[in-house]
Structure 1
Amino acid sequence: MADSDHNMTLPCVTRRVAFVSTILALAGWPFQARALAYGAVPKDTATDPAVLLWQNFKAVQLKGELLYRRMQELEIELAERVDFLGTVVSIPGGGDVLVCSKEGLDRIVGDRADMADLRAKAESELNAGQAQFDAAASEIGYFTALKAEQEAFAQVSFLLDALSTTPAVSVAGVAGKLDAVMCEGEARDDCLAFPWPQIRAARDDLLRIGPKMPNGESFREFGRHC
């Protein structure tokens, strides 16, 4: 999930919320906003391993998305605090070239003796810019947040793999697997394009054959906007 596009259209977000509530109902859990938001499951719920993995997936994914938004805020703050990290190198007979890293400087200047002074000046400016960035990033907690985000996304990837290899023993478990795929895939792709309509159709079959909710409302009606 790192560096992935988390922008989603409103219909996709609405479907995601409705689908989570449907899985909770299929598992026999009372639909409560707090349980939906945090993946909470009553302790006396029957334990389908796929449902338990899905529960962990939802909690970690939520954490990752919150950290992703926090990283965006921190990056904006860094941009306001730190000057441009690159430098401009004037190549004799070749004009000015923008350099943003020492690797880029190596490619442009290399070992040219006639550009030793230019190289030293460019390296000094790059080092100063990096030091300014590191100091500002440490001050606002950027590196700590970045590490936490990367760890959360790694956990999401691990749980997705675990879900793909863990047999479900209930309708809720199968629905949870589909939900995990939809949560990850719809965040990157057009949620109305292939294969999302086909996945939703399979999910609708699960809703159609599933039991009734405690209040008598059908699961298909309950999740019709997914």
Structure 2
Amino acid sequence: MPPSDPALALWREWCAAHKLTQRLCRRQQRLETRLVQSVGFPCVTVRLPEGEDVTIHSIEVLNEVLGKGPDMAALRENAEADFAGYQARWDAAAEATGYIAALRAEREAGERAADLLEALSTTRATTLAGVAGKLDAVLREGEAWEECSDFPWPQIRSALSDLVRIAR
């Protein structure tokens, strides 16, 4: 039996955490899509004094657009109240559909995968399989899309393929 490789053991844990994160991300995205279709993103449309309509998606942007001046106070208060009502509908629907729980679960799984990836980067591999696992994690975490042709992804894929071939 080959000696135990701590990097390989961590890589296996990371693979499981990475897979879980991806699954939870897809679930959260499906729920968010349904939420947007049923409730829409929280927003408010404000008619500026010049007659232009502006759709705003946050209180911060509302304050930037309308400013803090007294001349816009009534417009700002009405817009804030409308936005707060929309946000409350979104929050209630997000809770009821399970979106909030799915978002939290995805974030926690992602944090676990990130912690394992960090640990993997500081753990010495003792076998070719451990080195291959480390490279695989780099590829799957760092590559913008599968089969990306930008440097350094083809080179890392090639090195990983060589390692796997040599290890056999």
When the two structures are aligned, how many residues end up with a matched partner?
168
TM-score normalised to the size of structure 1?
A: 0.68
What residue number does 2:133 align with? 176
Alpha carbons of structure 1 residues 176 and 110: separation in structure 2 relative to 1, 3 Å: same
TM-score normalised to the size of structure 2?
A: 0.90
What residue number does 1:50 align with? 7
Cα deviation, residue 96, structure 1? 2.2
* Of 96-105 and 166-175, the range deviating more from structure 2: 96-105
What residue number does 2:42 align with? 85
Letter in 2 for 1:140: T
Distance of 1:206 and 1:139 partners within structure 2: 49
Cα deviation, residue 99, structure 1? 1.9
Cα deviation, residue 62, structure 1? 0.6
| Structure 2 runs not aligned, ≥5 long | none
* Structure 1 position 132 matched with structure 2 position 94: no
Distance of 1:189 and 1:94 partners within structure 2: 48
Aligned partner of residue 133 in structure 1, secondary structure: helix
Alpha carbons of structure 1 residues 85 and 54: separation in structure 2 relative to 1, 3 Å: same
Distance of 1:112 and 1:197 partners within structure 2: 56
Distance of 1:155 and 1:188 partners within structure 2: 22
Q: CA RMSD in A?
A: 2.0
Distance of 2:48 and 2:140 partners within structure 1: 50
What residue number does 2:112 align with? 155
Alpha carbons of structure 1 residues 87 and 171: separation in structure 2 relative to 1, 3 Å: same
| Structure 1 runs not aligned, ≥5 long | 1-27, 29-44, 212-226
Cα deviation, residue 186, structure 1? 2.8
Deviations 1:64-119 (A, max 9, x none): 00001001100111012214521122222352222222111211222332322211
* Of 129-138 and 92-101, the range deviating more from structure 2: 92-101
Alpha carbons of structure 1 residues 158 and 108: separation in structure 2 relative to 1, 3 Å: same
Alpha carbons of structure 1 residues 139 and 46: separation in structure 2 relative to 1, 3 Å: farther
User: Identity, % of aligned pairs?
Assistant: 48
Deviations 1:110-166 (A, max 9, x none): 233232221121111100000000000000111111111111111221111111111
* Of 181-190 and 100-109, the range deviating more from structure 2: 181-190
Letter in 2 for 1:91: L
Aligned partner of residue 97 in structure 1, secondary structure: strand
